Amino acid sequence: MKTIAIATAALLALAAGTALGEEKLVPLKPGPGEDVVSANCNACHSLDYIRTNAPFMTGKVWEAEVSKMINAFGATIEPAEAKTITDYLTRNYGKPGG
C-alpha cells in the first residue's frame, strides 16, 4: 500500500510540474503580418523556431519552409496567408541575398 501511495505522489508531482512548465509565447518582431505568422505558425510549433533558424534563412528558403509546412506537414494555410507569412519572415528574419 505504501508503494502505491509513493507512486501516486510521484505521478501527481510530475503532472503538476508539467502543467507549470507551459511554454511562454515567444515575441516576434512587430510588423505587417506578425499576427498571421503568430496565429498560423504557433498552432504547430514554438515561434522560437523562427528566431533560431533566421540566420540561415533567405527569402527563398522561407518560401520553401512555408510550402513544406503546408504540403508535407498539412498546415491549413490559405495561399494569401502563406504569402503574408513568407513576406513577413523574409522582411523581418531573412538573411540578405536570396
How would you write the pLDDT of the chain (98 residues) with one tens digit per residue?
555 655 455 555 555 444 445 656 779 999 999 999 999 999 999 999 999 988 889 999 999 999 999 999 999 999 999 999 999 999 999 987 76
Predicted pLDDT of residue 6 = 56
> Dihedrals φ, ψ of 3, to 5°?
-65, -40
**pLDDT (tens digit, 9 = 90+) per residue, 31-49?**
999 999 999 999 999 999 9
Domains of the chain as residue ranges with CATH: 24-93 (1.10.760.10)
Quick one: CA dihedral 73, 76, 80, 82, positive or negative?
negative
The total of other beta-carbon atoms located within 10 Å of residue 67's CB is 14
At which residue does the C-alpha cell 502563406 appear?
82
